[in-house]
Chains A and B, each alone.
Chain A
């Protein structure tokens, strides 16, 4: 079901909603394509005409300036026209209005929706309902998936540690509410990582978390042993008020990443964080700014990876059969 929706008849990417259902070779194709765009960003001219004349709508039902900006930049560098729609504040988040919004935008000859929504499944729903020529990119839906974040993290890991099969990755923090974690786990498992370990208190782990293909630890000190990649998750402040955690300071004491604790991981381990960081809550500033941190690299890779995904999802124009164009 999921993979059918994401791929077109030729098995090419049509929508990018979730890592689930995508093959290893497709993920690698995304990473390779992103490589091309990454080298481009070091050039004097950072713009290519690939999506010239296309209109991309950033449809954000949930505020996120950072994510929206990287998508906007990626689209602009592909020469597409970008419209930003922030619908986060609108009171009615009923299905009718979501669908009405989509229908209205479709009528304006849009080619792609980049969707961020507070409810799991929103991007799937839009992809199912929208006109067939429109591609949908999931920029984060509820607690379900944030696949572009996962791909940019895979890209960052590959730059530094190209062999996934020997990688042990720890994901630390609020797995229960994290769409990032779900997508990272699926991407790492698809790419064949040796181990994905989640480290969190029970209150922040979903039921049957092992079914996602991870090992589980409730102790950061024990859990960091032999780890090559340390992925920290952002801790939302509202978790304290909903009785999931006693206090920020107790969380930091148990699960906050400090220089001391990082020494337990492999000496060449890298530290990642999807941002924005709560310094002193999930990670010590010294670690976030330290030599093992690749957090800023993640940010800059975000543009190239999103360019690759957007370009790939837009590559097949409907109703046109592929022409052997460039044969000489």
Chain B
């Protein structure tokens, strides 16, 4: 039994924001604020001056390991996740081998258990080998524990195949996690089609590569009745399209990667590969719209889009470097920065990292509801820390925030009642 004392409890799902204690027995939350009878904690965590909230749920993560262990391993990355207050991870299916059979899904579970971090959920591949042509055995994947299906960043060969995949997913009530990107319009670009790419002569990706793919998928969602979650949106017109679709009653949701809410093409230091991400960093107007979309609920979740890389992957001429940031550990401080800049409220920020992604995945977590798994994050919102090798847990150091001092740090993380991280 664990008691977390005197923290400011913020639990958006239950509309709680007050100072008090949280009571945990075994792997469950048993009470919030009210002390249960005969509660004899073996551990008491003093959380005074800190915030107690549901553990974070990250909708898009890459832990490498399988096939890419020189970049990172489950072992290194679950430490990073724990230090970030993240208690549930969704693993993109583009591992080696691809998560397109129950055996690989089982392997993911096994590796997660072995790493001491069981709450890693694989997103099953929508198509075999993610090659965009043949449907995967989605039902078997679901039975093997996949919370959703998706095709990671790989294209679906044509709209007919996408339509059928969506119909099939809908038949089994599977959520499609979709990254909207038309590869033809994207034309192997590495930067936003804007002032920056024009000045530095970088192959570029227009917004239309995202918005057209998004619009097509929305039409098919209407046609097929498939539940769709759009991941890592990057531009203004995508937000508008999601807003309209929701208004007309489509069962869709969407998230944004945390870096898109802070960085734009103007922030890119010329040819610095730490800023090479896909979708690319776009304009100030896009960033403002994404923030607005979070504030009004059009976008309901924030993900880390964590992509750790080895050093070599980021050493080279900008277009040939691999895209992605190592982003778990900067997730909380960057969310708090949004609050500080009045883009969203603290309650919204926490909901976007816990309650809302739980709803997207239909998980019984993301809230401090008695009976729910005791996934808890305790953080000090005022604690400054520097992004450096002493503090950093991820094996990937590919972050443009390296060396910066950020505000807000997790002090304790509990996963199913087990303390998996303590500062």
Contact = CB atoms under 8 A, between A and B. Distances in A.
Question: Are A and B in direct contact (Cβ within 8 Å)?
Answer: yes
Interface of A: 1-2, 20, 93-96, 98-99, 117, 119-122, 124-125, 129, 141-145, 179, 182, 206-209, 211-212
B201 A143 contact: yes
Interface stretch (B136-144, B226-234, B313-321, B333-341): B313-321
Nearest to B321: A95
Contact of B317 (A96, A122, A145): A122
B213 to A, nearest CB: 19
B300 to A, nearest CB: 31
B264 to A, nearest CB: 14
Contacts of B199: 20, 182, 211-212
Interface string B269-284: 1111000000000000
A175 to B, nearest CB: 9
A125 B317 contact: yes
Interface in B248-304: 269-272
A63 B320 CA distance: 19
Given A119-B318, A124-B270, A124-B271, 4 more contacts: A20-B199, A98-B317, A207-B193, A207-B206
Nearest to B192: A207
B139 to A, nearest CB: 40
B320 A95 contact: yes
Contacts of A122: 317
A207 B320 contact: no
A99 B193 CA distance: 28
A129 B312 CA distance: 12
B145 interface: no
A316 to B, nearest CB: 24
Contacts of A206: 197-198, 204
Interface residues of B, number: 26
A120 B200 contact: yes
Nearest to A183: B201
B198 A209 contact: yes
Interface in B181-238: 193-195, 197-204, 206
A94 B204 contact: no
B197 to A, nearest CB: 7
A21 B316 CA distance: 22
A147 to B, nearest CB: 12
Contacts of B200: 120-121, 144
B201 A145 contact: yes
Nearest to A211: B195
A95 B316 contact: yes
B193 to A, nearest CB: 5
Contacts of A209: 198
Given A99-B315, A124-B270, A207-B204, A119 B195 contact: no
Contacts of A145: 201
Interface string B313-354: 111111111000000000000000000000000000000000
**Taking each of A120, A179, A207, A212, which has the highest tally of chain B beta carbons within 10 Å of its own beta carbon?**
A120
A125 B321 CA distance: 11
